[in-house]
Amino acid sequence: MSSETRNDAAVQIDGVSKSFSGTVALEPIWLKIRRGEFLTLLGPSGCGKTTLLNLIAGFLEADEGELFIDRELVTQVPPHQREIGIVFQNYALFPHMTVAQNVAYGLRTRRVSKAETAERVAEALALVKLQDFADRRPRQLSGGQQQRVALARALVIRPRVLLLDEPFSALDRNLRTAMQVELREIQTRLGLTTVFVTHDQNEALSMSDRIAVMSQGRVRQIGAPDDIYDRPANLFVSTFVGDANLFDATLQGVQGGAAELIVGGAPLPVETYQEDLPEPGPVTLFVRPEQCRLTGAEEQGAVPAIVALSVYQGSYAELHLDCAAARGGRIMLRVPAAKALPAGIPVGIALPRTGPAIYAVEDADKEVA
Amino acid sequence: MRKSLLDHLLDWAGRIVLIAILAFVLLPFVVVAIASFNDGAILSFPPREWSWRWYANAFQYRDFGAGLTNSLKIAVFGATIALIAGAGFAYVLDRYEFRFKNTLNGILMSPLIIPNFTIGLGLLILSAAASLPRNLWLVVATHVVIVMPFVVRSVYVSLQNFERRFEQAAESLGGSPWHVLRTITLPLLAPGLASGGLFAAILSFNEFTASLFVVNQSTQTLPVAMYNYVREYADPTLAAVSVIYVLAVAVILLIVHKFFRLEKVLNVE
Ligand SMILES: Nc1ncnc2c1ncn2[C@@H]1O[C@H](COP(=O)(O)OP(=O)(O)OP(=O)(O)O)[C@@H](O)[C@H]1O
Ligand SMILES: [Mg+2]
């Protein structure tokens, strides 16, 4: 079993860490990236995403730990021998070369014959739909076109791994969505192992096979998008990915698989997906907005709240509620726009019995994203 | 909106100040240029009779021709050596950490505070002590010492502004460090290197003080030849040489400017 999973890993990161003159950028990290998978590194600014990518690419040397690509130990291998494709946010197209020369660069370093180079460059440009731009200079292209050239340049060498560092964050929204779809299509078609860095949770959720959520130089959770969203492993992940409503609650104990909670004065038995629950006592209850149901103020067991603000969002409205039981005194719910309520109306919030997560209070104090 | 009277006044004041500054900078040259056409044999101003004869004299005077040849050779060799050594040093400074880096940097920059005559005198004493011949290479060496700090600075600044992502992209595409240096780094740094080299050549061409110590009759540079001339004769020949000098440098700069615009067209920014 263990040898099988090992064979499966296109990239294996074994306890790799990195500090810059005393400041820890990356704590020791263990990570296996499966062959052909689209893995996203997601996390706030400064959490070490680029550092990890630079370590995989070989631009940085790890302080400790080992790195394997296709089971080959590459910790000491220089970047130009790692056969990795890389795409940067600012494209880094060589300004003194044409589009075709840019794409051909990685073939010329490999001494591929002229005829084959021409063929593969044309193929790569066709893949990103830029056949007609071969003779242009990079600065004569739009941002989206430049990013596609950068992608073609990285793909043409048939890399063992493709690394992308926030490749679309300089593009406007529509183009960005189009590029996301395009990249995912190409990646799937080529079966290319891909590590994608972003701090945009929607991008991460919509594109990835798996997401590694990072903060402060550590991987906080790794899993499929729905794992991350529906079953966050800790408070940091729950608040960084998606919207979160947090309640102050008291955990009384666990009975018959359900955690006995008191929220807003009312008892609430909750079945959670968590394996480890905090000690009985004050805890933080995490619920997604879509898991909360709006009720009348008098409803039995509902947490009382008062509408503070209603924000129209087109197809729905965001209701911001003042709620004494909530951490920070505020929670948010989405309702159909037609059902929006004016400020000052007292309401009740019915909490779900399955789905929410329970975290220790200390975690909440240091971890809310 | 109409401009107020004050705005007009400020406008005019601004223009006058600008013209005054320009005049102040250009005045010496204008005076010399006018004096160079004076027919009389003494440098007087303003001239009473006009003539080209000092220009003819300038071209006939042997030492000026020889001095110009020397100066050009020295500028070309000195700037080239300073550019190669200085660029290499700037690269090491930018890319590597090593012990005594700051000390080395300080020593290399010290010609900026040590006056040129000290450098000239020092190299003169040194060459005498080592019984080196006082040939053109001694002058070249002197000029290299003087202009290298400027080259190092200018290349270092270009390197600091250099986007390392270009090199990283090239490396990831399989370019060995040497290949990346040749195909990416050097072409992209070319304008910075060219301007550093040009700057070095002009500094060398204009250098007088240190040269005075290390030249002899056969290796004297144009500025030294001019200085020697003026010690013997007080006629306007020197003014004529000055005008030719300025025009020559201006023409070279114009050509280089053309070259740089060309660089821009090629998108090497
Ligand atoms: N060359 C460096 N020298 C010193 N500190 C560095 C260096 N590179 C990164 N760091 C530090 O390491 C930490 C991680 O940086 P990194 O660039 O990996 O973050 P990131 O997750 O990519 O952030 P962002 O989303 O802003 O790009 C940061 O605190 C950063 O300041
Ligand atoms: Mg980054």
A147 shares a domain with A196: yes
CB–CB of A157 and B173 under 8 A?
yes
A311 shares a domain with A228: no
pLDDT attached to residue A101: 96
A248 shares a domain with A197: no
Contact with chain A for residue B269, Cβ under 8 A: yes
In a domain, A1, yes or no: no
Measured by CA distance, the residue closest to atom 28 of ligand 1 is A46
Q: What CATH number does the domain containing A62 carry? A: 3.40.50.300
Q: What is the arithmetic mean of pLDDT over A264-287? A: 87
Q: What is the arithmetic mean of pLDDT over A199-205? A: 92
Q: Residue B98 corresponds to which amino acid?
A: F
Give the count of domains, chain A.
2
For residue range B80-137, list pLDDT tens digits in order: 999 999 999 999 988 888 888 888 878 777 777 888 899 999 999 998 898 888 889 9
Contact with chain B for residue A158, Cβ under 8 A: no
A268 shares a domain with A161: no
CB–CB of A96 and B266 under 8 A?
yes
Give the count of domains, chain B.
1
Residue A106 distance to chain B (closest CA, Å): 4
CB–CB of B177 and A85 under 8 A?
no
* pLDDT of A365 higher than 60: no
pLDDT attached to residue A14: 95
Measured by CA distance, the residue closest to atom 8 of ligand 1 is A51
**CB-neighbour burial class of residue B61 (10 A; exposed 0-12, middle 13-18, buried 19+):** middle
In a domain, A87, yes or no: yes
Q: What CATH number does the domain containing B118 carry? A: 1.10.3720.10
pLDDT attached to residue A229: 94
pLDDT attached to residue B71: 93
A241 shares a domain with A197: no
Backbone angles phi, psi at A130, to 5 degrees: -125, 30
Give this complex's ipTM.
0.84
In a domain, B9, yes or no: no
pLDDT attached to residue A367: 57
**Neighbouring C-alpha atoms within 13 Å toward the C-beta of A243:** 14
A242 shares a domain with A228: no
CA distance B38 to B41: 8
A160 shares a domain with A76: yes
Tokens of B21: 């500054």
Residue A85 distance to chain B (closest CA, Å): 6
Residues of chain B in contact with residue A90, where contact means CB-CB under 8 angstroms, are 163, 165
Measured by CA distance, the residue closest to atom 2 of ligand 1 is A20
pLDDT attached to residue B106: 81
In a domain, B86, yes or no: yes
Residue B171 distance to chain A (closest CA, Å): 5
For residue range A108-159, list pLDDT tens digits in order: 999 999 999 999 999 999 999 999 999 999 999 999 999 999 999 999 999 9
Report the sign of the C-alpha dihedral through residues B166, B172, B173, B178, in that order.
Answer: positive
- Nearest residue of A to residue B186, measured between CA atoms: A96
CB–CB of A80 and B187 under 8 A?
no
Rounded to two decimals, what is the model's pTM? 0.82
CB–CB of B172 and A153 under 8 A?
no
pLDDT attached to residue A363: 60
Residue B198 distance to chain A (closest CA, Å): 22
CA distance B269 to B256: 15
For residue range A32-60, list pLDDT tens digits in order: 999 999 999 999 999 999 999 999 999 99
**Cis check: omega of the bond before B46, within 30 degrees of 0:** yes
* pLDDT of A92 higher than 90: yes
Backbone angles phi, psi at A65, to 5 degrees: 95, 170
A20 shares a domain with A88: yes
Tokens of A86: 């890389």
In a domain, A295, yes or no: yes
Single residue among A203, A233, A263 that ends a domain in this structure? A233
- Nearest residue of B to residue A152, measured between CA atoms: B173
A141 shares a domain with A48: yes
Single residue among A233, A268, A284 that ends a domain in this structure? A233
In terms of residue numbers, what domain contains B77?
62-265
Check: CB of residue A40 under 8 Å from CB of residue A221: no
As a whole number, the mean pLDDT across chain A is 91
Task: Let me know the angle formed at the C-alpha of A258 by A325 and A282, rounded to the nearest 5 degrees.
Answer: 35
**Ligand 1 surroundings by CB, under 6 angstroms:** A 20, 25, 43, 45-51, 199
A261 shares a domain with A174: no
pLDDT grade for A173, boundaries at 50, 70 and 90: confident
Beta strand A218-223 with A357-360: parallel, antiparallel or unpaired? unpaired
Given ligand 1 and candidates A18, A21, A49, which is best to mutate, with the most ligand atoms within 8 Å of its CB? A49
pLDDT attached to residue B83: 95
A190 shares a domain with A222: yes
> Which chain residues have CB less than 5 Å from ligand 2, an ion?
A 50
Q: What CATH number does the domain containing A263 carry? A: 2.40.50.140
Write the CA distances from B144 to B15, B44, B218, B223, integer angstroms. Answer: 41, 38, 20, 17
First to last CA, chain B: 40
For residue range A7-32, list pLDDT tens digits in order: 578 999 999 999 998 899 999 999 99
In a domain, B135, yes or no: yes
Regions in chain B scoring below 50 on pLDDT: 262-269
What is the position in ligand 1's atom list of the atom closest to the CA of A199? 25
In terms of residue numbers, what domain contains A314?
237-367
Write the CA distances from B176 to A151, A211, B38, integer angstroms. Answer: 21, 33, 64
In a domain, A288, yes or no: yes
A221 shares a domain with A162: yes
pLDDT attached to residue A174: 87
Single residue among A233, A268, A303 that ends a domain in this structure? A233
CB–CB of B168 and A79 under 8 A?
yes
In a domain, B220, yes or no: yes
In a domain, B157, yes or no: yes
